[in-house]
Amino acid sequence: MPADFYFAIEVILNGLMAGVLYSLVALGFVLIFKASGIFNYAQGVMALFAAMTLVGIMNGQVPFAHLFNAIFGTEIHYFGWQVPALFAILLTTLVMVVFAWAVQRYIFRHLVGQEPIILFMATIGLAYFLEGVGDLMWGSDIKTLDVGLPQGASFWIEEQTAFLGGEDFFGFFIDQLDIVAAGVAIVLVAVLVAFSQYTKQGRAMRAVADDHQAALSVGISLNYIWILVWSLAGFVALVAGIMWGAKSGVQFSLSLIALKALPVLMLGGFTSIPGAIVGGLIIGVGEQLFEFLVGPLVGGATENWFAYVLALLVLVFRPQGLFGERIIERV
Amino acid sequence: MLYREAGDFKTSYVADSQTFPIAFDRWRYYAVLAVAFGIIPFLVNDYWANAILVPFLIYAIAAIGLNILTGYCGQVSLGTGGFMAVGAYACFKLMTGFPEVSIVLHIIAAGFITAAVGVFFGLPSLRIKGFYLAVATLAAQFFLVWLFNKVSWFYNYSASGQITAPERDVFGIVVTGPNTEAWAKYLICLVFVTLAAILARNLTRGSLGRQWMAIRDMDIAAEIIGVNPLRAKLTAFAISSFFIGISGALFFAVYLGAIEVGEAFGIQKSFLVLFMIIIGGLGSIFGSFAGAAFLVLLPVVLKLLGVDLFGWPTDIVAHIQLVIVGGLIILFLIVEPHGLAQLWRLAKEKLRLWPFPH
């Protein structure tokens, strides 16, 4: 077997891992879209905000310290304590629940019944707002996030697979963090599916997703369900934020993963959780392979647009995406 | 007290179909034009031209363009930055390829090239609707920026990857390059803005504009009453991209003079122009101006207040600006989805009746 062949397999494996991370972000989109018809552009910024909050809480940073210092001329920065990772994650989840409540109470309650595109633009506004608030609260410098996840190459896999190739092949290189992320994503999806299938709240959530009016008439509180859904999306954002943040640091570019998740959604369909997973994997593998095979011919950095063009091509033939519900239009 | 009218007395079709049917509005329009062309060029200095007036005029053209597509035809586009880049690079290639031809023709030709690119990326709109389309236009944004970054033919193989506008003149007056006077920059942008606004205003109230609005309000119903969706959507994409291309060309050649594509025409630019038309008013030419003015002035005012007056660090002021812009977008969508233009319209209605409300 030529080494190139194994490199291609390695590229595919790494693409799968990257795809899992895309799916993680896309999941948050699908949750909100299914339950409320809102296409939440702010999902990426929510991941950034959650990661920033987590780092801030763990380091005992004073919220809005920079702002206070600038206005009142004080010099406060830290409370001077360290919070253990697990407890900080719990606190951050709490913050995301409060955020979900505020979003529902102050924004989307006033926009009920508006066109989807208006709601979409409102979430773009929300993304800007949240990014500004996050920067004001915790500062905009690049932070490192360390919640004790393993980092670096997995030597075990490298050693176990080294025998496959010839002399110039040293086994598959896979980041341990990616493996952990894949595991977390699988658990998260299983939990979400179980939640929506077997619990009362989960069933109510699916009912709302199916038909708002019918759900209202059997006594389901739309308000409660929407807060629940936004909280869930906030939690998914936190998980995504932890994974991406541990991988490449907590900084502004983290919010751009939303832009990576959009083509995943278009490909998989906005309404399908399996679609988000499969779409993420296809795009993850597709863009790595494309960069590996075609990238060198056209100058590289094709991953910026490949996912979009692929999704666009799929949409032209299947406007609802691969797994989405059929779009039926009535006059 | 401002409006003195006792009713509509039209005696000819020409009088009935004029752009400003109310005499006071018409005179105000002439007065604004007179001030803009006759007085401001003599007063303008470098700071006012570069910080406020020239960006305002250029963004106003882009906002008019996006408003035609999004506000009038209902097709949300997030590819504005990419199309502005097409205009800028087309203008650059034309300027360096045909130095003897006038810059005005280059800018207009850049508009036409952008229109062709816009039609190409508008083709999926025939199958894809709503935010599926909005996301699809992101494909244009990312692909075009990547293209101009990677293919060195577009920036004439310069080592820095930047494009720089050579010096060109109109009637002997230098309008591009480092030696441009502030008033010349202002005036060439003003001419393009005025022509764009008049063109857009008349397109949107003619048969084409009515087709766009029919598609926006309900595309299936519009198709049933005989509007050709292919024609209506693609003309909207073409004309919108034409304006956006012109604004991109001016942005590069007249305003900045040298640009790097990822920085100048990134996705932030797309959002900025989209915010302009949301705040200004979807489906309104006046709204495009109001939104552009608002979002050009906001950072300047915030900087004056925050940095110069209170002495806060610039990064904090930049963050506060994000919060304010985001908050305003949400506020406008909740309170006044038709933007500043609607507020202006309401004020006008009130003024026409004042002081007798019945």
Note the pLDDT tens digit of each residue in A255-278.
777 777 788 887 877 777 778 888
- Chain A, 158 to 187: residues with Cβ < 8 Å from chain B are none
Q: Coil, strand or helix: which one is B170?
A: strand
Cβ separation B334–A111 shorter than 8 A: yes
- Side chain identity, residue B212: W
Which pLDDT score is estimated for A186?
82
* Cα–chain center distance at B62: 2
Regarding predicted confidence, which is higher, A126 or A197?
A: A126
Q: Residue A124 is nearest to which of B218, B324, B329, comparing CB atoms?
A: B329
Say how far apart CA B200 and CA A194 lie, in whole Å.
55
Closest to A189 in 3D by CA, of A90, A278, A97: A278
Position A2 confidence tier, pLDDT thresholds 50, 70, 90: low
User: Which helix (DSSP H) or strand (DSSP E) does residue B174 occupy?
Assistant: strand B173-174
Say how far apart CA A274 and CA A189 lie, in whole Å.
9
Q: How crowded is residue B177: how many other Cβ atoms within 10 Å of its Cβ?
A: 16
Say how far apart CA B120 and CA A176 lie, in whole Å.
43
Dihedral in degrees, nearest 10, Cα atoms B183, B186, B188, B193: -150
Rounded to the nearest angstrom, the minimum Cα separation between B217 and chain A is 11
Where exactly are the structural domains of chain B? 35-266
Length of chain A: 331
Lowest mean pLDDT, pick from A235-239, B272-276, B315-319 = B315-319
Q: Residue B124 is nearest to which of A118, A131, A316, comparing CB atoms?
A: A316
Which pLDDT score is estimated for B154?
81
Best mean pLDDT range from B110-124, B151-165, B329-343 = B110-124
CB crowding A208-234: b at 16 or more within 10 Å, else e? bbeebeebeeeebebeebbbbbbbbbb
**Cα angle A219, A225, A228; round to 5:** 150
Between helices B229-250 and B182-204, what is the axis angle to 10°? 170
Residues forming a β-bridge with B173: B170
Closest to B244 in 3D by CA, of B45, B78, B32, B15: B78
Say how far apart CA B77 and CA B132 lie, in whole Å.
10
Which pLDDT score is estimated for B281?
85
Size of interface A-B (CB pairs under 8 A): 140
Q: Which of B323, B328, B332 to probe by mutation at the A interface, max A CB count within 10 Å?
A: B323
Say how far apart CA B41 and CA A38 lie, in whole Å.
47
From chain B, pick out residues whose CB is under 8 angstroms from the CB of A116: 130-131
Mean pLDDT of A207-221: 83
Q: Does A102 touch chain B (CB under 8 A)?
A: no
Dihedral in degrees, nearest 10, Cα atoms A238, A243, A248, A251: 0
B305-312 long-range Cβ contacts below 8 angstroms, 24+ apart: B310/A71, B312/A70, B312/A71
Length of chain B: 358
Cβ separation B130–A262 shorter than 8 A: no
Residues forming a β-bridge with A153: A175
Say how far apart CA A17 and CA B160 lie, in whole Å.
35
From chain A, pick out residues whose CB is under 8 angstroms from the CB of B150: 298-301
From chain B, pick out residues whose CB is under 8 angstroms from the CB of A105: none
Closest to B288 in 3D by CA, of B298, B276, B299: B276
From chain A, pick out residues whose CB is under 8 angstroms from the CB of B138: 259, 262, 308
- Chain B, 208 to 237: residues with Cβ < 8 Å from chain A are 218, 220-221, 224
Q: Is B127 exposed, middle or buried (0-12, 13-18, 19+ CB in 10 A)?
A: middle
Which pLDDT score is estimated for B192?
92
Say how far apart CA B240 and CA B75 lie, in whole Å.
11
Q: Residue B139 is nearest to which of A67, A130, A309, comparing CB atoms?
A: A309
What's A142's DSSP letter? -
Structure tokens at B212: 């766009």
Q: Residue B142: which residues within 8 A CB-CB, separation 6 or more?
A: A304, A305, A308, B82, B267
Closest to B245 in 3D by CA, of B191, B178, B196: B196
A39, HSE (Cβ side, Cα atoms, 13 Å): 22
Q: What is the residue-averaged pLDDT of chain B?
A: 85
Specify whether the CB–CB gap between A256 and A127 falls below 8 A.
no
Q: Residue B274: which residues within 8 A CB-CB, separation 6 or more?
A: A121, A124, B66, B70, B76, B77, B78, B80
Cβ separation A117–B143 shorter than 8 A: no
Give the ipTM: 0.80
Residue A60's alpha-carbon distances to A52, A63, A79, A85, A242, in angstroms, are: 12, 9, 5, 12, 17
Cβ separation B128–A116 shorter than 8 A: no
Position B16 confidence tier, pLDDT thresholds 50, 70, 90: confident
Specify whether the CB–CB gap between A220 and A114 falls below 8 A.
no
From chain A, pick out residues whose CB is under 8 angstroms from the CB of B215: none
Q: Does A127 touch chain B (CB under 8 A)?
A: yes
N-to-C CA span, chain B: 15
The pLDDT tens digits for A141-152 are 777 777 666 666
Which pLDDT score is estimated for A150?
67
Q: Residue A117 is nearest to which of B131, B149, B325, comparing CB atoms?
A: B131
Which pLDDT score is estimated for B59?
93
Cβ separation A266–B142 shorter than 8 A: no
Specify whether the CB–CB gap between B143 and B82 falls below 8 A.
yes
Cβ separation B313–A70 shorter than 8 A: yes
Regarding predicted confidence, which is higher, A316 or B120?
A: B120
